[in-house]
Structure 1
Amino acid sequence: MKDVAELAGVSITTVSHVVNSTRSVAPETKARVLVAVEQTGYTGDAIARSLVTGGTRTLGVAISLVANPYFAELLRSMEHEITRSGYTLVLTDTHEEPYMEQAAVRILRSRRVDGLILTPSPGVAVLGELRQLKIPLVLVDRLTTAQDIDQIGPENIYATSGLVQHLASIGHRRIAMISGIEGLATTTERVLGYRLGLGRAKLTWDESLVVSGSSAAERAAAALAQLLSLPSPPTAVVAANNVMLLGVLHECRARGLKVGRDLAVVGYDDVDWADLVDPPVTTVAQPIAEMGRAAVRMLLDRIADPTRKPTTARLPTTLMHRNSCGCGL
């Protein structure tokens, strides 16, 4: 740091402020310091700095990367906001398993992250431990009923209800749902939305029309096969996430079913290819980028003010109306 200061013609304190983003520095001065940093190859000592400041300028993210491509997009937006805010991302994969989630969180704790963002697995087994340790925490995507935790996620209930009501409005009376992993908040909320949609459309609940696809393409394909084998099979199906939507479409193709004509198909989660298949798929789009950025900002607010009242935020979704529901075919 002394070499950088001499080369840039500034004080060591100024170099520290530039490198650690701890105080505003005049643009010309900052530019000279950054040139000197590049010439000397200076990186700073994060460990030494953490001993002085009590923080590491790192944020931990524990997320299930293997479960759904949706999480990769969510992670991308969080990483961008974390970096923009002057922090470093430390990532662990929970593999959608409670014991792996606990191990992932403990790894992040051992790295002394300043705060943690978590997409909880079924049961949210680590919440008690994190509460006791008072680690700044934000739950993202999958919310709990707890009122003492910061959390942010999409609106699931009314969005799913809207899909069902739309299918009913165009004449469908046997509307099925392929649900996600049991025990997840998103699964519970989307099934509740499905039931709400049936009620608003004055359709009768039939438990045989809801089959778990366990948030996996193969299981969703098997779930559709089970639904189509019913004595009175559905004429429309709601897939509760994008991975299961893919399995449903594969099963339709394997059976020679024309989507939108032989079977109406809609899904929760929009995907890049939704308007490229034939017919384009009607979906509910989540505000993924906004949700990731907001989760980071919520965590930074908690770090800055540990006594702040916890916040639960629900972000609105968007119905992407296309033709897989049978409209226009």
Structure 2
Amino acid sequence: MKPPRRASRLADVAALAGVSITTVSHVVNGTRFVAPDTRDRVRHALESLSYEPPPLAVRPRTGRVLGLAITGASNPYFGELIQGVESEASRAGFALLLCDTHDDAQREAAAVAMLLAHNVEAIVIAPTPGWESVTLPLLRKHQTPFVLVDRMSDVRCDQVGTENEAVSVALVEHLLDLGHRRIGMLTGLEGLSTTKERWRGYVRAHELLGVPVDAGLAVAAHSTVAGGRAATAKLLRLDHPPTAIFSGNNAMTIGALLALKEAGRHVPDDVALVTFDDFEWASAMSPALTAAAQPFHAMGAQAVQLLLRRLADPFAPRHIVRLPAEIEHRESCGCRPDAVSASVG
């Protein structure tokens, strides 16, 4: 007897889950967002029917390959990190296969599945919110070595990132030392360790100087330009708006600058501004931006080094690396242009 065709098996899964065949396909292949409750029904049906998708037809690799799953094209600022991964991988004799996760857990899982189908030996991943329930089981099922980069996790694995909390304390403490007592914060994408750690730094800086934290001055800006623009506009509409703003990442900073310009507010005379993530053009602006510059190239190179260590010794103890960031004191905080830079970490 011939085995059931894939289409009929998908139909069985769809019937059991009470969804369309297209929805089952999206869950299996990770090609589109599916609501969590629907996704759970489909996965339960897949398990109940012991459905296994056919393996992808992939030509055998001719050399050693590492995978990188990161929000790349959708976040160009990660370009320097990608360069760090690629250069260190190349130096070690590996080619690099890159997939863009677009900061979406299901697209991330699909990207990792594709990397695994192409027989990568190990994977560098900048995890999306919710990766533990979608992507992590896939990595563990295939027993593929991986390392987290930039975004940290409680999962026991190799990781490399920046000293987010300490750097945030230094940036906000600097504003407090300059006399600001109402400091707004643009917070990043919910569920990311970077968002949590930078928020903790904001709070800790206030605690260190005995200044109460006004929760109404922290606004979610979702790590996007549009989010930063809307959040800054919201802060400026308050009865007692902030006299300074701490932006949690580069995209939100652009949005903040747009909102301040639209409102006719001048930096730093009307509102001081400091930001996590430096720009190549930050010093060319007027006023130049005070920013924390992350060592992204070094971060990417270190991630590959951790993978090489893991490939050489699968039973080596996990290693977590936190790299220092360089704070560039410029003019947007209200300092003199010749202020000295500082390293935190």
Matched position secondary structure for 2:273: strand
Supply the AA of the counterpart residue of 2:152.
Answer: L
1:229 equivalenced with 2:234 (yes/no)? no
Mapped pair 1:264 → 2:272: yes
2:318 to 302, 310, 313: 310
- The aligned counterpart of 2:118 is 111
Structure-1 separation of matches of 2:59 and 2:307: 22
Match of 2:247 in 1: 239
Q: Which residue of 1 aligns with 2:90?
A: 83
Instruction: Report the equivalent of 1:202.
Output: 210
Q: Gapped runs of 5+ residues in structure 1?
A: 1-45, 51-55
Alpha-carbon distance in structure 2 between the residues aligned to 1:295 and 1:225: 38
1:117 deviates by: 0.5
In structure 2, relative to structure 1, the CA distance for the partners of 1:196 and 1:49 (3 Å cut) is closer
Answer yes or no: is the 8 Å Cα contact 2:287–2:331 preserved in 1. yes
- Higher mean alpha-carbon deviation, 76-85 vs 156-165, is at 76-85
1:290-324 per-residue CA deviation (whole Å, 9 max, x = no partner) reads 11111111111111111111111110111110010
Aligned residues: 278
Aligned to 2:101: 94
Q: Cα offset for 1:174?
A: 0.1
Counterpart position of 1:139: 148
Once residues 80 and 178 of structure 2 are traced to their aligned partners in structure 1, the CA distance between those partners, rounded to angstroms, is 33
- Aligned mates of 1:188, 1:131 — CA distance in 2: 26
Contact 2:113 2:138 survives alignment (8 Å): no
Contact 2:61 2:119 in 1 (8 A): no
Counterparts of 2:186 and 2:335, CA distance in 1: 21
Question: For residue 278 of structure 1, what is the amino acid of its counterpart?
Answer: S
CA distance in structure 1 between the aligned counterparts of 2:254 and 2:96, rounded to whole angstroms:
31
Residue 289 of structure 1 pairs with residue 293 of structure 2: no
Q: Taking structure 1 as the reference length, what is the TM-score of the superposition?
A: 0.82
Q: Hey, which bits of structure 1, 4+ residues long, moved more than 6 A? A: none
The residue number in structure 2 matching 1:299 is: 307
> 1:219: which partner in 2?
227
The aligned counterpart of 2:166 is 158
Query: Cα offset for 1:230?
Result: 1.0
Alpha-carbon distance in structure 1 between the residues aligned to 2:157 and 2:176: 37
Match of 2:119, SS? coil
Alpha-carbon shift at residue 226 of structure 1 (Å): 0.4
Query: Is the 1:65–1:95 contact (alpha carbons within 8 Å) kept by the matching residues of 2?
Result: yes
Q: Larger C-alpha radius of gyration, 1 or 2?
A: 1
Gap runs ≥5 in structure 2: 1-57, 338-345
**Residue aligning to 2:175:** 167
* Corresponding residue SS for 1:283: strand
Q: Is the partner of 1:275 in helix, strand or coil?
A: helix
Distance in 2 between residues matched to 1:328 and 1:62, nearest whole Å = 41
Q: Offset at 1:48?
A: 6.1
Deviates more, 1:68-77 or 1:168-177: 68-77
CA displacement at 1:193 relative to structure 2 = 0.8
The equivalent residue for 1:184 is 192
The Cα offsets for residues 138-176 of structure 1, whole Å up to 9 and x where unpaired, read as 000000022x20110011001001111000001000001
Distance 1:109 1:302 in 2: 17
Q: Deviations over 1:82-123 (max 9, x none)?
A: 111111101111111011000000000000100000000002
1:67, distance to aligned residue in structure 2 (A): 3.7
Cα offset, 1:128, TM superposition: 2.6
* Aligned residue number for residue 128 of structure 1: 137
Query: TM-score of the superposition, structure 2-length normalised?
Result: 0.78
Q: Distance in 1 between matches of 2:269 and 2:335?
A: 9
Q: Secondary structure at the residue paired with 2:124?
A: strand
